[in-house]
Every structure is written in structure tokens, then in C-alpha cells.
Amino acid sequence: MSEPTKNYEHEVVSQREGAVPRDLLIYAVLVVCTLVSVASSYLSLGVANGIIVLLIASVQALLTLWFFMEVRSSSRVLQLSIFAGIFTLGVLFVMSLTDYLSRAWGSW
């Protein structure tokens, strides 16, 4: 975990170590996830179809955030800010969907 007072040069060197093989591995996982997602949409799984593809997309987004966008090596305050923003977005989704899906909106 890096802190704001840490030496910039040291931080840069530590981020470079093993970065290319790690990125290639993450890339391979992301491509496989895409292909699995496409394959799953051809299976008749009812409501689970939509849930599975969204879960896979969430895993891909988390991998991109954590590794490619280097949230893993960001400072605590930055990690907390990012988490707070995404959590707030999640709250807005859950509360809005709870309202829309539990009432007769759209039933005309």
C-alpha cells in the first residue's frame, strides 16, 4: 500500500515489477470471460441468463479496476473514495429498481 508521502520514483519502480506478465494474464482472463458470457447466452437458463452475463461483466470490470487501473496500488484514501463512488451508484440502482419493479409502473 503506497502512501502520499512515499517517494514517487520508488513507487514507479515497484509498480513496474512483473507488470507485463501480470497484465497479459489479466487480459487472457478478460477475453475468456467474454467468450464464456457469449456462450452462456445461447443456453436456455431463463432469468439466470441475464444474471450470469451481468455477473461476468462485473468480474471483468473489477479486474480492470483493480489491475489495469491500478486501484490495488493506490493510497487508502483513493481506494476509499473510489469504493464510496461505486457504492453510491449501487445504492441508486438498488433503490430505483426496488421502486420501479415493485409497483405497477409500465403495466399499461
Name the residues that contact other proteins, by CB under 8 A: 4-9, 11-13, 15-16, 19-20, 23-24, 27, 30-31, 34-35, 37-38, 40-44, 49-50, 53-54, 56-57, 60-61, 64-65, 68-70, 74-75, 77-78, 81-82, 85-86, 88-89, 92-93, 96-97, 100-101, 105-106
For residue 72, the minimal CB distance to other proteins (Å) is 13
3-state secondary structure of 69: coil
For residue 99, the minimal CB distance to other proteins (Å) is 10
C-alpha cell at 29: 482472463
Report d(CA 52, CA 57) in Å as an integer.
9
For residue 88, the minimal CB distance to other proteins (Å) is 8
Report d(CA 79, CA 73) in Å as an integer.
9
For residue 103, the minimal CB distance to other proteins (Å) is 11
Name every residue whose Cβ is closer than 8 Å to that of residue 15 and which is 6 or more positions away in sequence.
Answer: 70, 73
Question: How many other CB atoms are there within 10 angstroms of residue 89's CB atom?
Answer: 10
